[in-house]
Each structure stands twice: as structure tokens, then as C-alpha cells.
Amino acid sequence: MSDRSVFIGYDPRESAGFAVCVSSIRNRLDAPPPIHGVVLDHLRRDGLFTRPLERREGILWDVVSDAPCATEFSISRFFTPLLARRAGYSGWALFMDCDMLVRADIHQVFNMADPKYAVCCVKHDHQPKESSKMDGQIQTVYPRKNWSSFCLFNLNHPANDALTTEYLNATPGRDLHAFSWLKDDQIGPIAHDWNFLIGYDDLKFPSFRNPSCAHFTLGTPDMPGRENDPYADEWRKELNNWAAQP
């Protein structure tokens, strides 16, 4: 079985983003790694995700964290190592949010990974000031924000054995997003351009013009107010290419 696999968060509200993300990976490779969706309903069906979620005034709410979830994969992303192992994979499993446009060979990310680390990610210093994002979702601030939006899990590292269903269903989201089961020296780097935050990094680094992965963290270009963001035309072209496939 493959020692490289990709898991992409799925939310029905962002089905177009999911399609673009998958298509943008596959269209740049002759032999892409296996790609899977992280689907909350499937995790519940299989008895893996048991933590209670509620709808409060239209917002998905994680009861354990007593905090909102911007997407259905806010918590379920951390089930990636479990899902990868259940599928028979070894090596590295990449989780990524679905609001991403991959613009380079995804194998480059796996080639960066150092097996001494349990997780590798872009170590953002991301402290948003706005109160909402995407289609009106609450913008929450927590330590290591956006580190978990694009991260490699080392399936062979013993530290990740802590990610049992018991731990994942009982631990507050803010601790999961901060990689609280790891020591700081168990978290390795990925080049910043592989999680380039549109609406932030394009303003912070105006001379940088060619990110490997554009992350539409404030909302994909099909959402109101995001139509003219950088790389929006590329995103729409990728969506049209996907729609035109048999």
C-alpha cells in the first residue's frame, strides 16, 4: 500500500471547494497519491466520531469545546491517522482543508518531511482581527491557528499513537489544533508557500507571487465578497475543468 496519502476535509457547504482541491492535485500529476475525503457522516456511521455536536442559531457547535465549528471537519481532521491506518497506509498522511488550490506537485510536500517529526506543517503566526469569515462563520482565535489546516501526520511516529478515538472524542478542539499530544520538538516545518493564506499572506508578503498552495481561508471565490481574491480566476478555471470531466 501507498506510503503517501491525502485526506481532504469535506463539508457539504464547500462541495465546489472540495472538487477544486481534488482536481488541482490530480491535474498536476501523472500518478497522484490516493486521495480521500474526511466526511463527518461517515465517521459517525463507522462509530469513530462520537463527540456531541449541536446547531445553535445555525452554527455548528462542539459541546466538548463549548465553541463553534466553522466546518464539519473542524475536529474530524484529527482522525486522519486513524483513517489512514484503517485504509492500510503507512508513511505520511497529509490532511488539508478543502478551500485550497494546489498549484504544484503535491509530492514536493512529502519530500520535505523529516521522519524524526510526528507532524509537519506551516507554522503560521495567524491572529485574525475580523469576527467572521467564509459565509458568515464565526472567526475564532486560538494558539497555532491554521497549523492544522495543512499538515503531514507521520503514521510511523509513536507519539501519534495518542490519537485514539477516546482521546479525539474527549479533547477540546483548541487543544487538538495546538497539537497538544506532542512536544514542541516533535512538530516539524513545511515551506510557507504550501499554506499561503489568501487575504493575509498576499498582503503580508506582496512581492511573493507564486504560492504552491493557495488557501482561501476567508472563503472560496464562489462566496460573496471573495470573487476577486488573488488566484480566484485560477480557482474558477479548475472548477470548470472538473465540471467538464465525464
pLDDT (tens digit per residue) in 18-66 = 999 999 999 999 888 999 999 999 999 999 999 999 999 888 999 999 9
CB 12 within 8 A of CB 25: no
**pLDDT at res. 134:** 52
pLDDT (tens digit per residue) in 102-122:
999 999 999 999 999 999 999
Grid coordinates representing 132?
Answer: 467572521
Q: Long-range CB contacts (< 8 A, 24+ apart) of 236-244?
A: 238/20, 238/23, 238/24, 238/27, 238/101, 239/16, 239/19, 239/20, 239/23, 241/23, 241/27, 242/19, 242/20, 242/22, 242/23, 243/19
**pLDDT at res. 209:** 82
Residue length of the chain: 246
- The domain total for the chain is 1
Q: Whole domain around residue 215: which residue ranges?
A: 4-244
Residues near 241 by beta carbon (within 8 Å), at least 6 away in sequence: 23, 27
**pLDDT at res. 208:** 82
Q: What is the pairing mode between strands 4-9 and 92-96?
A: parallel
CB 4 within 8 A of CB 110: yes
What distance in Å separates the CA atoms of residue 229 and residue 241, rounded to the nearest whole number? 20
- Determine which helix (DSSP H) or strand (DSSP E) holds 233, and give its type and residue range: helix 232-244
**pLDDT at res. 220:** 96
**pLDDT at res. 28:** 92
Where is pLDDT greater, at 207 or 242?
242
Beta strand segments in the chain, E: 4-9, 35-38, 53-56, 59-62, 67-69, 92-96, 100-102, 119-121, 132-133, 137-138, 150-154, 187-189, 196-197, 213-215
Bridge partners, residue 153, by sequence = 93, 119
Grid coordinates representing 242?
Answer: 472538473
**pLDDT at res. 133:** 46
What distance in Å separates the CA atoms of residue 159 and residue 164, rounded to the nearest whole number? 11
**pLDDT at res. 129:** 52
Average pLDDT over every residue of 212-220: 96
Task: With a cut of 70, say whether residue 137 has pLDDT above it.
Answer: no
How much is the mean pLDDT over the chain?
A: 92
What SS3 state is found at 49?
A: coil
Say how many CA atoms lie within 13 Å of 234 toward its Cβ.
19
Grid coordinates representing 32?
Answer: 497522484
Confidence of residue 148 (pLDDT cuts 50, 70, 90): very high
Where is pLDDT greater, at 162 or 2?
162
**Window from 54-68, 136-150, 179-193 with minimum mean pLDDT:** 136-150
**Window from 6-15, 128-137, 138-147 with minimum mean pLDDT:** 128-137
Using a pLDDT cut of 90, give the percent of the chain over it: 81
Task: With a cut of 60, say whether residue 144 has pLDDT above it.
Answer: yes
Using a pLDDT cut of 70, give the percent of the chain over it: 92
- CATH number at 109 reads 3.90.550.10
**pLDDT at res. 145:** 78
